[in-house]
A and B are shown apart, each in its own frame.
Chain A
Amino acid sequence: MPALSTTPAIHRTVVIDRREAGPGIVVVGLNAPALARATHPGQFVMVVPPGGERAAVALGVYEASSERVSLMVATVGPRTAELVALRVGASLDVLGPLGNGFDLDALGDDVAIVAGGVGLASVLLVAQALASRGTRARLYYGARNAAALVDAELFAELTIPVALATDDGSSGYHGYVTDLLVAARPPSAIAACGPAPMLRSVARIAAERNIPAQLSLEEAFACGVGACWGCAVGIDRASRQAPAFPEPAPGEARAYVHARICKEGPVFWAHELRW
């Protein structure tokens, strides 16, 4: 992945709209023109907790138009519950845009976008960018059940074909979203975001079929800015995203190093990961 990062800042934003997208899932719209301009598809922000008591939360930038940025928040604990409860008019400070996003130029002319759960939030900007370029794309989107499949219509509006999958069969294909990928005609490349088991499955399918795949890794961060090295993932030493690191001593030669998901990622080439 070439450097697709931009200089981040602290943005003081105001919640301008709020939409319940699914059970425990809220899309929070923020007035953040500078952040909207600077954000590349696949980048994320660290949200400073409004109560000031808990660690910041990392969220992919979902939408970015001229004045507005939105974030999709799913309630998983007290930190996200605090964000889900935000009302219109509340102020919210966010750090961003952070990390390296998707390399759209390297995806070819027939892109398969794969999203699991709220991983969808990191690929809408990808779909929009591909649509505006006239690049052919399709979405494979999976979730636990029909209620958790949110906002697929935003992709359909881009005239991107959408195939759905649910674990319980309550909507679309009954099974994993990656089954849809296996059954499909081979794409030029894959852009994926979702839980780790889904991404590992995407990586395996991509390797078997020799399809390049860019994966946006979901991870809990501490700093989110590359300072603490807490969000490490093994990566090929030869990768362009590998941090500079000396050769290990003879006898402990290893072909990988640890990259920071928040800094060198969160988007990595699947074939370069050693995880």
Chain B
Amino acid sequence: MNGAASEAVGAPELSVRIGSLELRVPTLMGSGCYGSGEEYAPFVDLARIGGVVLKSVTRHPRLGNAPPRLVAVASGMLNAIGLQNPGIDSYLANDVAKFADRPCAVVGSVAGFSVDDYAHVTERLAARDEIDAIELNISCPNVGSEGETFACDPRLARAATRAARAVTRKALIVKLSPNVTDIAAIAREVEDAGADALAVVNTVRGMAIDVDAVRPRLGNISGGLSGAAIRPIAVLAVYEVAQAVRIPIVGQGGIETARDALEFILAGATAVGIGTGNFTDPRAPLAVVEGIRSYLSARGCARITDIIGAANPAFKGV
């Protein structure tokens, strides 16, 4: 009891709000990297990770891309999974009920190939009590040009967001692509269309070639680059988006340590996403949270919200 009392007095407050979604700690496990959470439950107390963004689900079943789907590259990895998933019908019937007992926030992820897809899948998934919020994946780089088109065209980004917004009142997080000329312009459209928050960013398009076999290493030829290699790209994207919108940002891209996460928070992110970082050590999210806590304590900050955007003079704020 004494320990709990002293912690209550001394420990900085790490809880944040992403729209109506409340997180005890400001970390979300990135979609497609964390399964449904249960895969990591033997190694990590899920009550301490904030939340998990589930693997994206689409209207119809998808077998996913032909292997190889992964390549390790300098300071990161390329992936091209191709949105393998059982489709929304099977997902609702067989999978979603299992998410009810997760001791963390559960964010459903919706991918699509038309505005109607986004509306249809969002409406049905968000209707389930097991799902606390929706992430709209308009930026998958691995399903042909259609997948990422929505994040690369301001009008389509607006249309997909508006369609999803119309069918749910749960927190709606729209995941943006770094593979654009002006991410701030896309962010403004998505905010204006009714998004509660933005996830910044998805993977960066890339490829690797096997020079001995004289062919691309990925079955899909191109893939999404993640890991430390993309962190500076992602930090800048958060910095620029945070100057353009007022809604919260979930900053992500190569976060492995607390200091990595703090870069995003100081640039203007309210919470951070951890994906590839879990592949190095499943305890990475716990170390990130502890490190943020220590950083705040050392600076005499009572709460994380004191430092959001602190390194961004034009931060518009939440």
Contact = CB atoms under 8 A, between A and B. Distances in A.
B268 to A, nearest CB: 27
Nearest to A51: B280
B281 A244 contact: no
Interface string B241-266: 00000000000000010000000000
Chain B interface size, under 10 / 10 to 19 / 20 to 34 / 35 or more: 35 or more
B61 A228 contact: no
A223 B33 contact: yes
Contact of B42 (A8, A257, A263): A8
Contacts of B90: 244-246
A229 B60 CA distance: 18
A1 interface: no
Contact of A222 (B42, B43, B79, B86): B79
A41 to B, nearest CB: 21
Contacts of A220: 70, 72
Contact of A223 (B67, B227, B279): B279
Contacts of B69: 229-232
A232 B283 contact: no
Interface string A223-264: 111111111111000000000111011000010011000010
Contact of B39 (A48, A221, A223): A223
Nearest to B52: A227
A258 B63 contact: yes
A249 B63 CA distance: 11
B291 interface: no
A52 B283 CA distance: 11
B16 interface: no
Nearest to A261: B67
Interface residues of A, number: 39
A229 B63 contact: no
A52 B280 contact: yes
B123 interface: no
Nearest to A10: B43
Contact of A56 (B33, B70, B87, B281): B281
B140 interface: no
A8 B38 CA distance: 12
A8 B67 CA distance: 26
A227 B43 CA distance: 13
A275 B68 CA distance: 11
Given A10-B283, A56-B280, A228 B42 contact: no
A7 interface: yes
14 contacts: A9-B43, A54-B280, A93-B281, A95-B282, A220-B70, A220-B72, A222-B79, A224-B279, A227-B40, A230-B69, A230-B79, A231-B70, A244-B90, A245-B63
Interface of A: 7-10, 48-49, 52-56, 77, 93, 95, 220-234, 244-246, 248-249, 254, 257-258, 263, 275
Closest 3 CB pairs of A and B: A227-B35, A230-B70, A227-B39
